[in-house]
Chains A and B, each alone.
Chain A
Amino acid sequence: MHGMVNRALQGFLTATYGDEVWAEVRSQAGLSCDDFEAMLSYPDAMTSACFHAAAHVLHKDHGALLEDFGIWLVTERHLEPLRRLLRFSGAHFEDFLYALEDLDERGRLVLPELDLPRITVAQADGGRFVIDAAWSLPGVGAILTGCLRAMADDYGTLAFVSLGAIADNGNERLEVQLFDAAYSKGRRFELGQVRA
């Protein structure tokens, strides 16, 4: 797994629960390093061990933890560059949903080693979208659920995101029901970055 993912998980745990929790997760997961390095790669098993250790240490449901992680990825102030990159995908939340199919390609464009989920999006009747995601680790559906809820808020769209069952082929499915594209103002996004 790309260090970017591991580093994000570490950032989420330390920012949300503190350094002691991260130290305990590290110890339970049997990590040899103190910190993940965003520009290095790590074995998938190490990432997986961290997710499991975190749920265990925090006495939290695995899915709920992953969902919080997904929300944090979009809303954390320090990860504003990531939110911006996501917003490049579309002018509206609906555009953004369709553009999820480009997500892994967009990731590879920047970091050829970055393994992002492969996502397919299908529109059903009445503003309903069915989204299937496949990743090298289980749990991508829950992370994506958190991300999409946060992104809907970011766009000011009222939407209902629910995690469905895991398909036979291992794909994790979620459903998005759009209600109001202009529900609130959402967060600002200016294409031209204002440089400090």
Chain B
Amino acid sequence: MSAAPILGLCGDALDRLLPMHLWIGADGYVIRAGPTLTKMMGQGELRGQPAFELIMIRRPGMVDSLDGLRDLTGQRLGLILRHAPHLPLRGAAVALPDAAGVIVDLSLGLSFSRGVAEFGLTLNDFSPCDQTIELLYLHEANSATTALSQHLTARLQNARAEAQAQAMTDPLTGLANRRAMDAEINRALADHAHDFGLMQIDLDLFKRVNDSFGHAAGDAVLERVGHVLRHQLRLGDMAARVGGDEFIVLIRDCTEAEDLGRIATRLIAACEVPVSYRGQLCQISASIGIAAVTTYPHRPDLDQLLADADAALYSAKRAGRGRYAFHGSAPIVVNAAQPVTHRRRADDLPPGGFRRRQNDRVPRPD
């Protein structure tokens, strides 16, 4: 059996194969250092310098002697250059025969990006077998494409926000939204040939449906209200959902209290029909505040009209649920014969803790 051939490498070959190697002699002093490592150390010729004052082995344990390093042969080393301790490097050591010392080969490891920049390394400083350049390439390419992706996402989000802002309908109910309603009221106010009435509707007990049966049930109720408003109104009238459970209805050529009251009564009654959602009966009611342009000496502006309808709604709410009120008049109770039956909850109480018996009647003003 012949002995395995022994490989002898001249220094230049070693430099080419392992440009980041450090050959430490048996006395712990540097015998040779690869050109890239020499460049990284930035202090010229390294030969003859005490090796463990240049590098520090930190993993698998702190090692500062040649014997200790020799014992780590074949292991994955974590180390630093003492003048650049913030850049953790990787390495492997091989003990040489005949007390010739130890060779340590280094790599930038995960510090590749900062390492290349801080040590001013070039393509020529790496062995063609070293993938550091490809890592750098990927690193840069990924940053560039990530920026493009973020750019695309940002643009799509802006476009979406813009589209939402331009939308005129409420996606859940299919009714108009606040923006469309405001525009329509302004148009109607500018058209002096036609008068109109305005209803501000707020659902009663809606919060209870949401809390007891969940938001999906609440959505089912809102959809039903949308359906009611679309079908109970004439073609030329307009209904909008303007908030969570708030609606506005514009009724054209209708300003008489009696007519508007009849419509309000009908709407409240229709809203009170229970909605079945997954076996649960969800029941709500509605309160309505009404304003009509004919009650003003001059055409009010949008804000005035909405504020007055809102004030009327507030007074209807204060008087208890399922009522409507005209701007400037007392609230009127609707369909007291078929009262909404439910257990009261504290959050359903009107401001100020107003209470009424369920069959209370509020006298209708003359």
Contact = CB atoms under 8 A, between A and B. Distances in A.
Interface residues of B, number: 27
Contact of B137 (A37, A88, A190): A88
Contact of B120 (A4, A39, A192): A192
B152 A39 contact: yes
Contacts of B137: 85, 88, 106, 109
Interface in B256-280: none
A192 B111 CA distance: 12
A38 B145 CA distance: 9
A106 B134 CA distance: 9
A39 B136 contact: no
Interface string A14-43: 000000000000000000000001111000
A104 B119 CA distance: 31
A81 interface: yes
A190 B120 contact: yes
Contacts of B123: 88, 90-91, 191
A81 B137 CA distance: 10
A193 interface: yes
Contacts of B148: 4, 38-39
A110 interface: yes
Nearest to B123: A91
A39 B142 CA distance: 13
B interface SS class = helix
A194 B123 CA distance: 16
Given A191-B123, A191-B133, A111 B145 contact: yes
Contacts of A84: 140
B141 A85 contact: yes
Interface in B339-355: none
B321 to A, nearest CB: 52
Given A88-B133, A110-B138, A193-B140, A37 B152 contact: yes
B118 interface: yes
Contacts of A88: 123, 133-134, 136-137, 140
A109 B141 contact: yes
A37 B151 CA distance: 10
B169 interface: no
Contacts of B116: 191-192
Interface in A61-87: 81, 84-85
Contact of A109 (B117, B138, B149): B138
A4 B148 CA distance: 10
B152 A192 contact: no
A65 to B, nearest CB: 25
B82 to A, nearest CB: 21
Interface string A97-129: 000000000100111000000000000000000
B118 A81 contact: no
Nearest to B122: A191
Nearest to B133: A88
A37 B152 CA distance: 7
12 contacts: A37-B152, A38-B148, A38-B151, A85-B137, A85-B144, A90-B123, A109-B134, A109-B138, A110-B142, A110-B145, A191-B121, A194-B117
Interface of A: 4, 37-40, 81, 84-85, 88, 90-91, 106, 109-111, 190-195
Given A110-B145, A191-B122, A192-B114, 4 more contacts: A81-B140, A109-B137, A190-B120, A191-B121
